[in-house]
Every structure is written in C-alpha cells, then in structure tokens.
Structure 1
Amino acid sequence: MRLLRNLGVVSAFTFASRILGLVRESLMAGRLGAGPVADVFFQALVIPNTFRRVLAEGAFNAAFVPLYARELEGKGQAEADAFASEALSVLASVTLLIVVAIQVLAPWIGYAFFPGQIDDPGLFTLAVLLLQIMMPYTLCMVVTALIGGGLNSHGRFATAAGAPMLFNLALIVVLMFEFADRETLALWLAIGVTASGVMQVALLALAARRAKLKFTLRAPRLTPRVKRLIALGIPGAVAAGVTQINVLVTSSIAMLEDGARSYLYYSERLYQLPLGVIGIAMGLALLPNLARRLRSGDEAGGNFAMNRSIEISLALTLPAVAAMLVIPQFLVGGLFEWGAFTAEHTANTAMVLIAYGTGLPAFILIKVLTPGFFAREDTATPMRYALISVGVNFFLAVTLFFGGVGFVGLAIATSVAGWINVLMLTRTLLARKLWRLDARLAARLPRQVLAAAMMAAAVWVLAGPGADWITGLAPSLGRYPGQLIVLGAVVALGAVIYGLAALALGALTREDLRDLVRRKPDRD
C-alpha cells in the first residue's frame, strides 16, 4: 500500500533525525545538565518551536496540502504554483511581523514565560536574549513547511522529512566545542538553532527547483484562495499544535521550580522520538492519501486508510510505551547521565517520563485522527476540541503543581488532556460516520497489547540482571560509552522480542512490514 511506503520513507528520515536528536540531547545533558541555564535555554527554545508547530506544521498540514492538491489536480501545475506563491508571500509576511514583534516585546513577554527568573536579572536577561536570537527560526520553518507540503503532494517525501537533521547537526557541531561557561554555550546553541533554519530553507528550495516547482515571493495579496487557506488554517493550526501548546503552558509553570523545566525537556525528547517517527510521519503520509480518496468518492478506501493508520501507529507505539513505563530510569540514565547530568536528575526525569508515557498513544492518535477532519476541509471541529484540551491541561497543571504533586503533575496534566482530545475526536468521527472500526483492527489491537506486555517483561529482566551481563561485553570503554552500549543492546533485543511476539500472535504480519518499504498499488 502506497500509504505505508510513504510512511516508511518519512519515518526512516524522521527516525534518523530523532537519533541525531538523541545524540544532541545526550551531549547537551552532559554540558548543560539540568540547572538554571538549561532551564532558560529550553524554555526559550520551546517558544519558537510552538510557533513552528502551530504556524508551519499545523496550518500547512491542515489546510495547505488539501488546497494545493485540489489546485494541482483540477487546474494543473501552473495554477498550483501560483497558489503556493500567493500563500508563501502572505504567510511569510505575517510570520515575519510576529517574529519581529516578539523580539521587540521579549523583555515584557519574558515575565509570562520566565516567571521563576524575574528576581535574577542576569538570568532573566539571558533568557530574553536567547528568545530574541531563536525567533527567526519560526520564519524559516513556515517557508520550509510550505515547500515541503508541495513536495509531499507530488509524492516527494524524502527531502522534507530529512531536512530537520540539519537542526540536530548544527547543534551537535556547537556542542563539540569547549566554552568558558554555560551561558556562552547557550548563546552559541541559540545561534545554531537559527542557522539550521536558514540551511533547511536552502535545502528545500533546491529540492523544489529540481522538482520544477516554481514557488516565488511576491507582494502579499489576500486572494480568494489565500483567504480560504487562512480560514482553514487558523483552526487547523490550533488543532494540530495542541500538544505543543500544552507543553508551552506546562513549561511556563515549570519555570517556577528550579530544574523542573529541564526534567520536562529531557523526558519530552524521549517520548517525542516515537511521536515524531510514527505520529507526525503517519499524519503527513495519511492526509494526502485520504484527501485523494475522498475527492474521488472512495469512502471505503478512506476508511481503510484510517484503520490501517491506527493499526500501524499503535503497533509501533505500544512497545515504546511499555519501555517508558517499565524501565524509565534505565532509559534516562543510559542516555543522559554523564557530566553535569547527575543521578538525581535521572530519577526526576524518569518520573516525568512515566507520566508522559501514559499519554503517548493519545499524542500519536491525535495526529492520526485529525486528518479525518482535515481531508474534508473541516478544521473547526478539531480546533474546538483542542481548545477544550488546552483548558483541561491548564486547570490540571495548576491544580497538581501547586497541590503538592510538583513538576510530575505537569506531565500528568498533558497526558490526561491528550486522552480527552482523543475521546472527543473519536466520538465525533463515529457519530458522523466518517470512520468505523473494522474487524481487522478490532482483532489486532488486543494482540498488540499482549505482544507489548511480553516485551515489557523481557526488557525489565534485561535492564536489571541482564544489564550486568551486557556491560561485561565492553568493560574497557568507560562508564558512559558502556551505558550507551547497554541501553542500545536492551532496546535492540526488546525490539526483536516484540517483533517476534507480534508476528506469532498475529498483531502484525510479514506483509505489513514489507508494505513499509516497497511500493504497491493502494488496495481497499
């Protein structure tokens, strides 16, 4: 099935990017640790990242791709290029205004995003400066999202999926140098963030040129097509960016407790690995496929695509969830515990990871369910549910954080809000008969859960008594390389065990795995 092959392409590049991201975060943990400087850097980074998810990934995934595909199929390449150029000009102009406004107002905006640093003028000034340096990254991401959406609509997924690797590579290069203090390192990391955005724009522009897509900047005009894009994009942006909005809300509260933002950040890096590889990749691959089927009147094929997306997403997600719940401290310690990252940091981050792990299936299902609305140009419904989810998250975050649960309560709030969003999306899809659970998915879900449980038991043993045996394979490499080897071995063995269990139980088939890597005709 072409959907699964596209998922395989996107997931492969996204997986490579996320692995580089783990290398980046491991280096960052050893250099920055989980102290005040790390807190303000991570919080400053999450602000442009939120705009990236909302304006770039959210708006374009929800609105631009279906509209561009309609122009392409109905009027041809020239009109599609003209529409893309109109959209690029208007949205880049609006984003530029937002970026400049935040840079100018950063000293005042900082009171909302860095409440715990207000009484420390030096740290607060650093936080504001970091935010100002990194905000242009948002503009770069809006441009790359539009070009990437055009490439995806032409079945060219590789370049757009691989571009984020430049972000990780840029920061890894910075982390390889020695700096006099952590403040200087944070400043250079911020410069690396924006520089990586410029490099991604250049890469996508080159790919578009090779694909003969003519996207050009022109004087911004609110044409009827752009107005339609904005009408669909605003609610779609809110809906698609809800998880990141929830992260921004909880992270601002976390700034009131020293180290809390860092604990949230490092645990986010771990749960966002499967979220990016599976959830976001599946959403990107599903939307064009689903929109194409619905335009041709193939409702049965659209339902098939939705069911297979849920099936594959959960099959690949549940083992990650099991590992996060059973061996969280082993995962965090193996990846991050060295240099400035202490055993105390590991324990605190592991508690947060458990809370996020319970919400991971929800975060991924949101990415899979919302295309069911977006493909029908309904972005308002997911937006309403997203806003309800944000409200629930804020209420629970405040209640739990100040009620004695502390920073772990912030992660619990995000996970609960995610599940509430999933329940609302699912109920509406079923009520409107936009999706129905088919027999194959109903039969495979319990088998996937059982296979994940079998893997969980195995990795619990491997990460305990088994870890000592694996460590003995490389005693001369030192503590940090040794713990990485142990971590990699346990993860690899867990993946093999899950794969074998899933095949034996019928949770997955060999045909499903082959579909991920080879092109086949779509089937009903």
Structure 2
Amino acid sequence: MTKEAGRGHALLVGAGILCSRLFGLVRQRVFSHYFGLSDAADIFSAALRVPNFLQNLFGEGVLSASFIPVYARLLAQHKQEEADRLAGAIFAILALIISVIVAVGVLATPYLLWLIAPGYTGEKRELTILIVRILFPGTGILVWSAWCLGILNSHHKFFLSYAAPVIWNVSMIATMLLFRHLDANRLIVYLAWGTVLGCLLQFLVQLGPVLKLVPNLRLRLDTKSLHVKQVGGSFTNVVIGRGVVQISAFVDQAIATLLGSGAIAGMTTASSINLLPVSLFGMAISASELPTLSRMAGDHVDEEVAAKLSTRLNNGLERIAFFIVPSAMAFFALGNVIVAALYQSGAFTAKDSYYVWAILAGSGVGLLASTFGRLYSSTYYAMRDTRTPLRFALVRLAFTAVLGLASALIMPKALGISMQWGAVGLTASAGVAGWIEFHLLRRGMNKKLGATGIPLSLMAKLWTAAGVAACAAGVVEHYLPAAGPIVTAVFVLATYGVIYFAVTFMLRIRTCTDVVGKLLRRVGLR
C-alpha cells in the first residue's frame, strides 16, 4: 500500500465523517434551538451517554482494534471463506452478548443512574430513567453497525461506513421538527424514539453492501476457531481499555451533574464541536491506517518492518498535527465566534455561547494529545499489542478522576465563582490526563520501533502559523461592523484559514505544500 493510497483512504474516511459531523452539527443546532441549556437538555444529554457506553464499549473502536487486524490479514492472504466464517461468528457472538446486556441494562437503569447522575433527583431523575430505557436497544443496534464498519473498512470501502450516521442524525432532526409543538419534556421522549429509529436505519443502510462483500456469511457461534480466539483475545483487552476510557467519561459526567443546571448540556454542546477535528483528522487517519498497518506488521515485526511502521506512523502524525494545531488554537482564541455561529438561536442565548466557549477552550488543552493517541493506539493494535494501551488507559482514568474532582468541585469554591464553571475545569483536566497517556504511549512505542514523533521545529512552526492567523482573525472580528453570528464567523474564520495556509506554505510545511499542489493540479494550474 503506497503513501498516496493511504492518503486517499484517509480522504474517504474524512469525507464520510465530514458528512456525518455536519449533519451532527445541524442536529445539535436544532436541539439547542428548542432546548438551550435547560433541564430537558441536561436530561437527554445525560441519558444518551448511558447506553452509548454500550456502543463505545463493544462498537467501532473495539471491533476495529480486535477484528480488523485478523480479518484484514485473512483477506490479504486470499482466504475469503475463512474471513467470511470469522465475520459470521463475530456477528453471532456480538448479537448474543449485546442482547443480554441490553436486557439487563433496561432493568438496571435506576441503579445505573445513581452512579452516573447522582445530582439528578425527583422528576428530572425519573424522566432520565425513561429516556435511558428507550435508548438502550437502539444503541445496541449501533454495535452491529460497528461490525459493518469493520467489514467495509477491511475491504477499503471507507466512505459509507463513516457517512452512515447521517441517517441517524436526520431521524433525530425530523423528529424534533415534526413534534416541535410539544413541551420540552414530552419532546425529548419522542426524540428518544426517533433516535432508536435512526440507529436501525444506520445499520440497515450498511447491511446490503456488507452482504455482497461477505458472500458466504453464516451466523454461527463458533468459539473454537483459531481466528475467533485471536479476535477474542484482543477483544477482551480492548474492551477493558475502552471501558476504562468510558468510565473516565462517566466520572466527568457524574461530577458535572453536581454543578447545576446546564453543565451537562454545555459539555455536550462543546463536545459536538470538539469531536469535529478529532473525527475528521485523528479518527480518519487512524481508521484508514489500521488495515494497512496490520498488513505491514504481519505475524512478526523485525527491524525492516519496524522501520516501515515507524515511517508510516510519523507521516500520519505530521498530517494530524497540521490540522489539529490550528483547530486547538481556534478553540482558544475564536471559540466564541464558532459557538455563536453554530448554535446561537432560539433558547440558546449569547450568554450560553460564552459559557460553551469556555468549556470548548478547556477541551482544546488535550485535543492534540487525544488525536495523536488514537494513531499510536492503532499502531499497537496492528502489532497485536492490546495490553499496553490498556495499562496506559488505566493511568489516564486515575488522573482524570483526581484532577477532575479537584478542578470541578474545589477550584470554583476557591476562586469564589459559580459551580457551573467547574465544567471548564473538567474538560481541561481531562486534557492533561490525555497528555500523560499520550506520553506513555509514545515512550512505549519508541521501545518497539525506535524514535517516533514530530520534530519540535515542525511543531513550533505550526503553532506560530496558527498564532499569527488567530491574531489576524481577531483584528477582523474587532473591526468588523456589527453583523449576525454566521456572517461574523464567515469573515473571521475565512481569514484565519487563509492566513494559516499562507504562513505554513511560506514555511514549506510538507502537508501544506502537498495539499496546495493537489489543488493546483485539480484546477489545471500545475
């Protein structure tokens, strides 16, 4: 697999994710318009996180790390029938596990809520329990969507699997528009059912193409197969690792429920923006590289293979940094412009925009670390090492809990500010924990492959370019005549993007010159 092919695959993943995230932003804008940062918004945001634990625990990241390396290796060896049997066995096993967990989860929801939303009481708690119970089966279906993604990605069919969530977002948007005349508490109940419908449609839209790629699919609980055991061995470690990450997120959520009305909704709104660059660049590159890295790693990593993996990893890190550094700078310096343009409408006020900006700036602290960490983890998984990322995820959990409690519950009191602002400390402290995890991942990988990472000189150039661009955009924002949030964002962010690309091009940053070169060739100027 050539570098150009790898970039092409990353582009397809990025295009699919972009479609999905754009519709996700539209969904969040409609949601914010009707709910703002109200109690109803808190309820739905918290409820959606509970069953999403199931999706994240058994879904895309876990299956990608455990299933794709084995399945893709069988395809590379032209063992189609064995690959098909593996796919069928994994689906059957997942169906059994998920069915049991969903049933138990629906029954145990009241007890789960004491753990993840201790600040919710009375009617707010009861309504959250109802929404969680409605959502549980739908998010179980999303695990099957992740199985489809594993099949499609292994066959280098990247676009559909990452664009499929568009239909999930459309279902939610349509539900809110159709039942907008209802009061907020009744509307979120209908929205929960619309979410479940979207989950089913997302799975079905991928199923047809998958069945064509797996012509000999048989759903059998074959736990004795060597390949199934290989997936299972990795699966267990990755599930625990993902579980640790999800527990970390739930620790933050549990703390946020103690910070007053609007904290959970504000963090969810900020997350919808924060996840855009993470998904477009971190996830896109990591997901597209995993099948290729798995083929390169093979069954044994010698010095020659290690050198190839190191080169591939470093190239991916450079591409990630080129886009994530300006994203983080934009969150710090221009977050108010971004949030207002996306969500300031209806019940979502200018005051809400500044609050979400502060949370978004906090999330920018760990943005680069989390995206780098995804690619490092994918490299570990390609080498069939799932234990190392697990150990470091446990370290991250410990730091997240300790720093989160201190930042959210102690710092606001010490500074004499509203407890609601503890949400900013939560996102920033999670970022610090992310940097610790990334450092450990890189140090461990360096022992396996030799020196990896990005030169400090390149990082200095990227941050300088982003800083210059932010200053120019700030000047435009200051002198721009009064206009609506969207018009302001168009001029300010356009200035930011153009200046960043211009400075990085003058500094001869390789990723920038490659992008500009491709654009010039497309329009026939080179």
Is the aligned partner of 1:26 residue 2:40?
no
For residue 73 of structure 1, what is the amino acid of its counterpart?
A
Q: Provide the rounded CA distance (Å) in 1 between the counterparts of 2:90 and 2:64.
A: 13
RMSD of Structure 2 on Structure 1 (CA): 2.2
Indicate the residue corresponding to 1:507 in structure 2: 509
- Greater alpha carbon shift after TM alignment, 169-178 vs 370-379: 169-178
For residue 452 of structure 1, what is the amino acid of its counterpart?
A
- Greater alpha carbon shift after TM alignment, 76-85 vs 161-170: 161-170
- Closer/same/farther in 2, CA of residues 245 and 215 from structure 1, 3 Å limit: farther
Q: Provide the rounded CA distance (Å) in 1 between the counterparts of 2:156 and 2:356.
A: 39
Indicate the residue corresponding to 2:47 in structure 1: 44
CA shift, 1:154, in A, is: 1.2
CA shift, 1:240, in A, is: 4.9
Within a 5 Å distance, the mapping from 1:431-450 to structure 2 comes to 431-433=447-449, 436-437=452-453, 443-450=457-464
- Greater alpha carbon shift after TM alignment, 241-250 vs 277-286: 241-250
CA shift, 1:410, in A, is: 1.2
Indicate the residue corresponding to 2:428 in structure 1: 412
Q: Provide the rounded CA distance (Å) in 1 between the counterparts of 2:224 and 2:517.
A: 42
Secondary structure class of the residue paired with 1:171: helix
How many positions carry a matched residue from both structures? 502
CA shift, 1:185, in A, is: 1.4
The structure 2 residue matched to 1:388, chosen from 395, 398, 410, is: 395
Matched-pair contact (CA < 8 Å) for 1:5–1:517: no
Structure with more contact order per residue of length (Cα contacts < 8 Å, sep ≥ 6): 1
For residue 444 of structure 1, what is the amino acid of its counterpart?
L
Indicate the residue corresponding to 1:99 in structure 2: 102
- Greater alpha carbon shift after TM alignment, 169-178 vs 354-363: 169-178
Matched-pair contact (CA < 8 Å) for 1:42–1:265: yes
Within a 5 Å distance, the mapping from 1:346-495 to structure 2 comes to 346-405=353-412, 406-433=422-449, 436-437=452-453, 443-466=457-480, 468=481, 471=483, 482-495=484-497
Indicate the residue corresponding to 2:175 in structure 1: 174
Within a 5 Å distance, the mapping from 1:117-266 to structure 2 comes to 117-118=120-121, 120=122, 122-177=123-178, 178-219=180-221, 221=223, 223-240=225-242, 243-256=245-258, 257-266=260-269
Secondary structure class of the residue paired with 1:179: coil
For residue 92 of structure 2, what is the amino acid of its counterpart?
S
Secondary structure class of the residue paired with 2:366: helix
Q: Provide the rounded CA distance (Å) in 1 between the counterparts of 2:25 and 2:92.
A: 35
Q: Provide the rounded CA distance (Å) in 2 between the counterparts of 1:300 and 1:511.
A: 25
Is the aligned partner of 1:290 residue 2:297?
no
- Closer/same/farther in 2, CA of residues 277 and 213 from structure 1, 3 Å limit: farther
Matched-pair contact (CA < 8 Å) for 1:324–1:353: yes
TM-score (norm 2): 0.90
CA shift, 1:245, in A, is: 3.8
- Closer/same/farther in 2, CA of residues 32 and 372 from structure 1, 3 Å limit: same
Matched-pair contact (CA < 8 Å) for 2:340–2:486: no
Q: Provide the rounded CA distance (Å) in 1 between the counterparts of 2:84 and 2:450.
A: 31
CA shift, 1:217, in A, is: 2.7
Indicate the residue corresponding to 1:70 in structure 2: 73
Structure 2 gap ranges (5+): 413-421, 521-526
CA shift, 1:270, in A, is: 1.0
Q: Provide the rounded CA distance (Å) in 2 between the counterparts of 1:139 and 1:515.
A: 44
Q: Provide the rounded CA distance (Å) in 1 between the counterparts of 2:510 and 2:53.
A: 35
Matched-pair contact (CA < 8 Å) for 1:32–1:182: yes
Indicate the residue corresponding to 2:88 in structure 1: 85
Matched-pair contact (CA < 8 Å) for 1:58–1:237: no
For residue 330 of structure 1, what is the amino acid of its counterpart?
V
For residue 14 of structure 2, what is the amino acid of its counterpart?
S
CA shift, 1:374, in A, is: 0.5
Matched-pair contact (CA < 8 Å) for 1:62–1:237: no
TM-score (norm 1): 0.91
Matched-pair contact (CA < 8 Å) for 2:364–2:428: no
Is the aligned partner of 1:333 residue 2:329?
no
Secondary structure class of the residue paired with 2:220: coil
Q: Provide the rounded CA distance (Å) in 2 between the counterparts of 1:511 and 1:346.
A: 35
Matched-pair contact (CA < 8 Å) for 1:327–1:463: no
For residue 325 of structure 2, what is the amino acid of its counterpart?
L
Q: Provide the rounded CA distance (Å) in 1 between the counterparts of 2:140 and 2:224.
A: 19
Q: Provide the rounded CA distance (Å) in 2 between the counterparts of 1:500 and 1:324.
A: 20
Q: Provide the rounded CA distance (Å) in 2 between the counterparts of 1:19 and 1:489.
A: 20
Matched-pair contact (CA < 8 Å) for 1:311–1:445: no
Q: Provide the rounded CA distance (Å) in 1 between the counterparts of 2:264 and 2:512.
A: 42
Matched-pair contact (CA < 8 Å) for 1:444–1:506: no
Q: Provide the rounded CA distance (Å) in 1 between the counterparts of 2:31 and 2:218.
A: 38
CA shift, 1:361, in A, is: 0.6
Matched-pair contact (CA < 8 Å) for 1:90–1:222: no
For residue 486 of structure 2, what is the amino acid of its counterpart?
L
Q: Provide the rounded CA distance (Å) in 1 between the counterparts of 2:512 and 2:198.
A: 39
Matched-pair contact (CA < 8 Å) for 1:114–1:127: no
- Closer/same/farther in 2, CA of residues 211 and 231 from structure 1, 3 Å limit: closer
Q: Provide the rounded CA distance (Å) in 2 between the counterparts of 1:221 and 1:206.
A: 26
The structure 1 residue matched to 2:312, chosen from 296, 305, 318, is: 305
Q: Provide the rounded CA distance (Å) in 1 between the counterparts of 2:240 and 2:191.
A: 28
CA shift, 1:219, in A, is: 4.2
Matched-pair contact (CA < 8 Å) for 1:7–1:516: no
Secondary structure class of the residue paired with 1:327: helix
Structure 1 gap ranges (5+): 472-481, 519-524
For residue 126 of structure 1, what is the amino acid of its counterpart?
L
For residue 325 of structure 1, what is the amino acid of its counterpart?
F
- Closer/same/farther in 2, CA of residues 21 and 517 from structure 1, 3 Å limit: farther
For residue 449 of structure 1, what is the amino acid of its counterpart?
W
